[in-house]
């Protein structure tokens, strides 16, 4: 079973090997969620809805694994992780509040109901495999962080490698995920050695993120407008990018403006494509020019106009392949069955605080 908690929904899918048996999207209204002061407080509410959904599904076989969307733990290498007490503790006490923090906790609560059922997460957004020099910025108090679409980036990279009969750790690949935010990762033989912090708006600008802004102008703007902390954050994440230029994040609508001859729309879209291409070029530097393939993925990759324009700018680096969309369920399914087929694939989570005593999930949930 795969569980993907979002800000206004909880998505569920149940698989038998490579067969989708059941799928359900549980919607949550803002009024319903307003009753819970924190993300953690939503656990009983969402758990009850999942339990009701399981009763409706009425499948006969017990679950062998439950995999949740990985949350904002401390930075860790990519891979599939068993959910344990330290992970749950870190997620319940995470400094960043996000619905994905519930994925591991809900997976553990459901897995506890079955004998020999393994709770898992895979490739959370905080996967950090960056080199030491890639972390260093121009100020020691502001190191570069690795926060990106790790689950989809690594799943797409593995998918591409399987399609050509090679292993993920045999190739150097640049993966560009284009959605509400854009992350561009340099995958060196299975490790993402450099990537932009897509959560905080670093990198190319995108439908709702400003991307990397001129630092001096950003400081002047915040002081001139007397923005609060929250307003300043929204300036770069949520209200930046195409939203700032057009008041919408709807890429197809903006592309219609381009086709209708809107010069401003055409220029801004071209600038977004250019900014993405530049970061692909930066990843080529991280890989010392030894790039086997460039993969374009995410929802925006469904727009052939954009992918073709990016391709024209970067195809001199390496062959470009378009693998549109983002199937988090499929990525979670593949990772869960990797562990069921080979239990040694599951990694042990190392807690942020070494003093947090380890124990089994079952013991913790009791």
Structure tokens at 254: 């903006």
Instruction: Output DSSP code: residue 86.
Output: H
What is the average per-residue pLDDT within 61-80?
92
The DSSP bridge pattern shows strands 191-195 and 80-82 to be: unpaired
Same fold, 1-146+328-366 and 150-325: yes
Would you list the domain boundaries of the chain?
1-146+328-366, 150-325
Q: Calculate mean pLDDT across residues 296-305.
A: 93
Residue 321 · residue 160 · CB < 8 Å: yes
What's residue 174's pLDDT?
98
pLDDT at 162 over 90: yes
1-146+328-366 CATH, one of 1.10.760.10, 3.30.420.40, 3.40.50.720, 3.40.50.300: 3.30.420.40
Strand locations in 70-137, DSSP E? Answer: 80-82, 118-122
Q: Using CA atoms in the order 46, 52, 55, 61, what is the torsion angle rounded to 10 degrees?
A: 0
Predicted model pTM: 0.88
Helix (H) or strand (E) holding 224: helix 215-225
Indicate the length of the chain as a whole number: 366
Q: Residue 31 has what pLDDT?
A: 87
Cβ atoms of residues 69 and 11 within 8 Å:
no
pLDDT of amino acid 7: 78
pLDDT of residue 360: 56
Separation of alpha carbons 363 and 366, rounded Å? 5
Each residue's pLDDT tens digit, 211-232: 999 999 999 999 999 999 999 9
* pLDDT number for residue 277: 98
Contact in structure between 336 and 83 (CB atoms under 8 Å): no
Using DSSP, state whether 3 is helix, strand or coil. strand
The mean predicted confidence, pLDDT, of the chain is 92
Terminal CA-to-CA distance of the chain, rounded, Å?
21
Domain 150-325 = CATH 3.40.50.2300: no
What is the per-residue pLDDT across 15-27, written as a single tens digit (0 to 9) for each?
987 799 999 999 9
**pLDDT for the residue numbered 2:** 96
What is the pLDDT, as a whole number, of residue 356? 63
pLDDT digits (tens, 9 = 90+) for 308-320: 999 999 999 999 9
Read off the pLDDT of each residue in 356-361 and give the average, rounded to a whole number: 58
Mean pLDDT on 62-75: 92
Residue in the block written with tokens 């593995």: 158
Mean pLDDT of 273-285: 98
């Amino acid at each position: 079973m795969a569980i993907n908690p979002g800000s206004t929904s909880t998505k569920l899918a149940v698989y038998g090997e490579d067969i989708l048996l059941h799928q359900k999207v549980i919607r949550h209204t803002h009024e319903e969620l307003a009753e819970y002061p924190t993300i953690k407080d939503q656990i009983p509410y969402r758990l009850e809805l999942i339990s009701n959904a399981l009763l409706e599904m009425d499948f006969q076989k017990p679950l062998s694994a439950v995999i949740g969307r990985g949350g904002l733990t401390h930075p860790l290498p990519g891979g599939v992780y068993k959910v344990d007490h330290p992970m749950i503790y870190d997620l319940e006490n995470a400094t960043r509040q996000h619905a994905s923090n519930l994925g591991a906790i809900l997976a553990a609560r459901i897995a506890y109901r079955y004998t020999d059922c393994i709770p898992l997460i895979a490739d959370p957004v905080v996967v950090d495999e960056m080199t030491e020099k890639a972390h260093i910025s121009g100020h020691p108090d502001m190191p570069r962080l690795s926060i990106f679409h790790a689950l989809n980036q690594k799943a797409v990279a593995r998918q591409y490698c399987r399609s050509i009969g090679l292993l993920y750790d045999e190739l150097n690949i640049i993966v560009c995920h284009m959605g509400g935010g854009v992350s561009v990762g340099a995958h060196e033989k299975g490790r993402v050695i450099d990537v932009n912090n897509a959560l905080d708006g670093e990198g190319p600008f995108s439908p709702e993120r400003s991307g990397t802004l001129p630092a001096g102008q950003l400081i002047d703007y915040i002081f001139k407008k007397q923005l609060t902390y929250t307003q300043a954050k929204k300036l770069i994440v949520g209200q930046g990018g195409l939203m700032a230029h057009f008041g919408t994040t709807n890429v197809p609508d903006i592309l219609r403006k381009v086709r209708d001859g809107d010069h401003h729309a055409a220029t801004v879209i071209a600038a977004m494509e250019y900014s993405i291409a530049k970061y692909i070029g930066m990843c080529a530097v991280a890989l010392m020019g030894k790039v086997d393939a460039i993969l374009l993925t995410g929802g925006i990759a469904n727009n052939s106009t954009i992918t073709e324009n990016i391709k024209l700018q970067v195809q001199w680096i390496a062959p470009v392949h378009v693998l549109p969309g983002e199937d988090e369920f499929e990525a979670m399914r593949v990772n869960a069955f990797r562990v069921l087929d080979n239990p040694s694939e599951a990694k042990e989570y190392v807690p942020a605080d070494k003093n947090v005593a380890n124990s089994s999930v079952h013991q913790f949930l009791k």
